[in-house]
Chains A and B, each alone.
Chain A
Amino acid sequence: MNGPLERYFGEYGGVYVPETLVRPVEELTAAYEEAVRDATFLEELSRLLRNYAGRPTPLTPAQRLSEEIGAEVFLKREDLLHTGAHKINNALGQALLAKRMGKTRLIAETGAGQHGVATATAAAKLGLSCDVYMGTEDMRRQELNVFRMELLGARVIGVDAGSRTLKDAINEALRDWVSNLRTTHYVLGSVLGPAPYPAMIRNFHRCIGDEARRQILEATSRLPDTVIACVGGGSNAIGMFSAFLEDRNVELVGVEGGGCGKGPGEHAARYFGSPTAEGKPVPTVGVLHGTKTVLLQDADGNVLPTHSISAGLDYPAIGPEHAALHDTGRVRYVAASDHEVLAAFETLCRWEGILPALESAHAVAYLLKEYRNTGKTILVNLSGRGDKDVETVRGIVGTGRASISGEDG
């Protein structure tokens, strides 16, 4: 947790921001590096994570599912954390840091609403005020989470620009931050943004992987063959993968939002590629929200709209550390389609009695697609619970229809 924070990951990362944001990101870097050398800060964070958020989270052997598919599956239960997703690890870490820096106000962006809820929760717990930016399209998709944030005392500010989703909410949060630097800390919700955010946020989520590695060693006396996690910006995945990067025999797989097709705007899978003048899509490097990374853009360098059944994966850029891990080949990036995700959602409900977040169901979907009858030991990061998605799923499958997966394969 307490080495210096990386500015670059291979050719990716960096600080691509208006000059006015340079000083705040430098102050943030210094504050973090100082805080994690202070035992009081670390103890307070670990106390909050333990007594308030519910860490460590269990590792559940998915017995019935394992028998059904012919692989030994373990689920890391981030869905059991307070507020229902891994996002609280980072929100508590940053909120505590903000308080230490003398800030009185938190702002955040949110897509699914999970990070907004986590930040609103951390703000309430630590006595800070909180404004959350959310695309109006996402507010419509995640009505209940909007109300949850308001109950927690946060103000939810609708963003009616661009595609009205997560990326536009980040734009607006950055504009707010640069206008209110003295009082405000921007709690970015994934491993994106200018340095130090990607490295700092990874460190706040490292507990996921550290715990899981210990737990699976206890349970099976060996490391898993494969670790699978979904990748929006990539915070739950990097938190999990970090602990296994040196274990060369452990295969690491990140699952992007494959959406409903491979055309521009139909998915959020950065490694499907961006359209080019030559025709065939290829993954492209660009700069968005302060970092250089792989992103979905048109031939003129405008960022493309994305689609995913899960609002939390509906974002055009992947975290810069993931882009680097892709290039070295250490992590394999794949995608699951909306349809496969719905089937996986149902499978986990039926076989394990767990409603996964639609984001997390992407990891399960890839498990079901590629690891049947392999006999392998597979660790799946269940990044969040699916209560927030019940309305979405009902809207798609309709009421009264009990089976999702029967539709067309």
Chain B
Amino acid sequence: MSGIEAIRRAFLRAEGTPAKAALIGYLTAGYPDPREFLDLVETAFDAGLDLLELGVPFSDPVADGKTIQASSEAALRAGITLTKTLEIAGRIIERVPEKPVVLMSYLNPILRMGIDRFFGALKSKGVAGVIIPDLIPDEAEAVRDAASRHERALVFLVAPNSTTERRKKILRASTGFLYAIGLEGVTGERDDLSADSAEFLQTLRKERGEVGRGDLPIAYGFGVSRPEHFRELARHADGVIVGSALIRRAAESKESLAAFLRTLKGVGS
């Protein structure tokens, strides 16, 4: 199955549940403990995670706040590289084949591996696609070619300050889903959602129809930290991405992570 199709099905399944939107979780590969990481991910899927965004640790994560930076540094110290992350992804997919995994990697490790080799590896491991936070469509020709050749999703990000013209360009370029960055800033927990998040999502929904991408799911991320954030966003987005708030629980324990995921989706606590 193509990565794009696997992602589409996950969003469709989530739409039919009481939560209405897909719960997408970011975990840094191998963090906090490489030996326990597969169990941690399995627990997360059991607790309601619909799609895993598996973070590739990198020496210079400019889009990330303190929590993800620290997890990335710790994972690097534990020897987790892009190659290791791909192996980890493969093992996750063997264990839980029905839930899609996408990588989230800065561009440089991918360039170092070779763009084509990287997408070939995604395909052979069954990884659905990749999010590259420092790659915009304007610079992505070679990466887009390779992604489409290997039938992997290439998820682009749109920001609250992107112009209309750019929003449309990004909607046209993105495959799998669209990553709507909720705020001008870096990843990290926030007490409140930005005031204009609903309006931003509504604009994107309207424009996705205008550019003929009505089928492209929109997922909202950055700053999502609480169950009430999830509930509010689920009314406007097809998926909600939670990163730093998950990492913090993952660092505590599997149980803490699972309990948090369940409260996010509003099933028990």
Contacts and interface: CB of A to CB of B under 8 A. Distances in A.
A126 interface: no
A161 B108 contact: no
Nearest to A26: B163
Nearest to A286: B108
Contacts of A300: 81-83, 109, 112
A387 B94 CA distance: 62
A297 B82 CA distance: 14
Given A300-B109, A301-B109, A16 B135 contact: yes
A285 interface: yes
A167 B65 contact: no
A23 B163 contact: yes
A301 B76 CA distance: 12
Contact of B159 (A20, A174, A301): A20
A302 B62 contact: no
B62 A286 contact: no
Contacts of B185: 20, 175, 178-179
B59 A303 contact: yes
A181 to B, nearest CB: 6
Q: Say which size band chain B's interface belongs to.
A: 35 or more
A171 B60 contact: yes
A162 B170 CA distance: 32
Interface residues of A, number: 33
Interface string A154-172: 0000000110000110010
B81 A289 contact: no
Contacts of B138: 15
Interface string A294-330: 0001011111000000000000000000000000000
Interface in B130-182: 133-136, 138-139, 156-163, 166, 170, 181
Contacts of A162: 59-60, 73
A299 B114 CA distance: 11
B107 interface: yes
B82 A179 contact: no
A22 B59 CA distance: 22
B60 A303 contact: yes
Contacts of A24: 161
Which of B73, B156, B159, B161 has the largest count of A CB atoms less than 10 A from its CB?
A: B161
B135 to A, nearest CB: 7
Contacts of A395: none
B186 A178 contact: yes
Given A17-B134, A20-B184, A286 B60 contact: no
Contacts of B83: 300
B28 interface: no
B186 A179 contact: yes
B244 interface: no
A342 to B, nearest CB: 30
A284 interface: yes
Contacts of B161: 20, 23-24, 181
A16 B134 CA distance: 5
Nearest to A290: B134
Contacts of A146: none
A297 B83 CA distance: 15
Interface in A338-390: none
6 contacts: A18-B133, A18-B181, A19-B162, A20-B161, A23-B161, A162-B59
Interface of A: 14-20, 22-24, 161-162, 167-168, 171, 174-175, 178-179, 181, 284-290, 297, 299-303
Given A161-B69, A301-B58, A302-B76, 8 more contacts: A15-B136, A15-B139, A16-B107, A19-B162, A23-B159, A181-B184, A297-B112, A300-B109
The 6 tightest CB contacts between A and B, nearest first, are: A301-B112, A301-B109, A300-B81, A20-B159, A302-B59, A179-B185
Interface of B: 58-63, 65, 69, 73, 76, 81-83, 106-113, 133-136, 138-139, 156-163, 166, 170, 181, 184-186
